[in-house]
Amino acid sequence: MFTTNKSYIMKNLILILSLITAFVLHSCIQTTTSETTSSDPKKVQTRIGELEFSHAFEHGYPTDETVKKLYDEMDFQRACQAYLWGLPIVSLAEWKYQNETVFGAKDCDLVSQTSYKDKLGILTANVTTPYVFALTDLTKTGPLVLELQPGLSAGGICDLWQLNITDVGAMGPDQCKGGKYLILPPGNEMEDVEGYFMVRMSSNNMGVGLRVVDPNKENAIAWIKSLQLYPYAERNNSPKTRVIEANGKEWSHVQPRGMAYWERLSDAINNEVVKEHDRVMMAMLKYLGIEKGKEFNPDERQIKILKEAALVGEAMAKANVFEKRLEGAYYRPDTHWKYVTLWDVTHETEFYHQLDELAAYTYEAIGTNVAMATKIPGFGQAYVGAYKDSEGKWLDGSNNYKLHIPPNPPAKQFWSLTLYDVDTRCIIRNEQQIADRSSRMDLLTNEDGSVDLYFGPTAPEGKEKNWIPTVPNQGFFAYLRLYAPLEPYFERTWALPDIEKVN
């Protein structure tokens, strides 16, 4: 009896287990089939918002709404990076536009800026030395001659991307002894011509930028007026070069904001050769309405994206400049002073084209050449910038500050300290028209030869000679320039203190 009951129980138990197994398998098949065939979209949260996909969650097809969102985001991200990439060319293209429209300059004309007012439109200009610039379209002039008389100068010839093709002056082949530069357009295969320093350009448009370092201002201006820039074809009967004085006119080559930025970029691209390292970026620009050989005529969607990207791109540029994360940015580990010229003169490294380095520099400054990134003691210029005070807070024009410049600044020629407005990155605008103090001035000095400089809305009593006025409620930053820097700068043994907030 017990044996029979046991056998009966086992049979029923097996039957029950079989039914359970069949039910589970059926449920699994139904669930899998439901997930596979369901057309209900599946949602996933991302940093750009909610994305919806059909079928197999995020591995399925994106919905129509998600496709639109993804393309808008793709184009926005590309536009932000294009903003950073375009900063060098937009800066010089805007300068050329300003030369033509404000000063009436043509391709072989020079424009000189010598006064405080003249330089208000230049990114981080120095106020101490006179400037002279020319921006020329070689497709209109053909090969061009730049002729110099002997004189103390520094500068260079660059392409529209601010790539230095050659230095001119102290660190150029003329070495301030005078001479002639023969500048050839891209693709011109003319053989070297005796008696000329040959310059082979990589862009159709080129810039000549020179600063005159002769301490005698009259000599400096006379040297500028002696410059000659003319087509090589007219070398036997060259016309007198026109030197246009800025005369305090309102102008600015600062990269324009909003849609004007993209308009200038599109114009520049259409007038230039495309460099090999920029071909990927050119592909990204295509769907933003910027394409070589085509008129810039963005649609409503593109305009919305480009306007926002100009705003966000500039914010990225500010972070990239004022809070540099570039390797080796700090002059010394015990200071907030940072190197300004962190680019290679070729704009290249072993494995990449310098994007962030150029974006940082060309957002706040203009022009790259060997002299500005000198590694040779006693030659060129050195630049360090301060954006924060000793407590790590942004410099504010409402506050009063003191900067102690220790004895024996490592400069063979002279040093200068200049303040700039954060918004424009140009020299600070104040009623007194004072933006710098330098060792060429009659400054108050301490017994040990050190100098204390003061920045603030009002001058400390008795310290007016050493004071630079700031504007309340406006951010500012400072550049210290060393002309012909010496070993203590390169070795970083000369300790430059931070700017200190004072009562």
DSSP state of 232: G
Give pLDDT tens digits for 91-132.
Answer: 999 999 999 999 999 999 999 999 999 999 999 999 999 999
Rounded mean pLDDT, 146-151: 97
Give pLDDT tens digits for 250-265.
Answer: 999 999 999 999 999 9
pLDDT at 464: 97
Quick one: tokens of 69? 């969102």
H/E element, 20: helix 2-37
Cβ atoms within 10 Å of 380's Cβ, excluding its own? 22
State yes or no: pLDDT of 494 exceeds 60: yes
Residue 425 backbone zone (phi > 0: left; psi -120 to 50: alpha; other: beta): left
Cβ atoms within 10 Å of 4's Cβ, excluding its own? 8
State yes or no: pLDDT of 218 exceeds 80: yes
pLDDT at 55: 72
Mean pLDDT rounded to a whole number for the chain: 92
State yes or no: pLDDT of 169 exceeds 90: yes
State yes or no: pLDDT of 417 exceeds 70: yes
pLDDT at 34: 40
pLDDT at 13: 53
DSSP state of 412: E
State yes or no: pLDDT of 267 exceeds 60: yes
Rounded mean pLDDT, 366-383: 93
Amino acid at 40: D
188 versus 2: the higher-pLDDT residue is 188
55-59, 277-281, 301-305, 415-419 — which is least confidently predicted?
A: 55-59
Give pLDDT tens digits for 292-311.
Answer: 999 999 999 999 999 999 99
Give pLDDT tens digits for 2-58.
Answer: 444 555 555 555 555 555 554 444 454 444 444 434 456 788 899 999 999 987 666
pLDDT at 28: 46
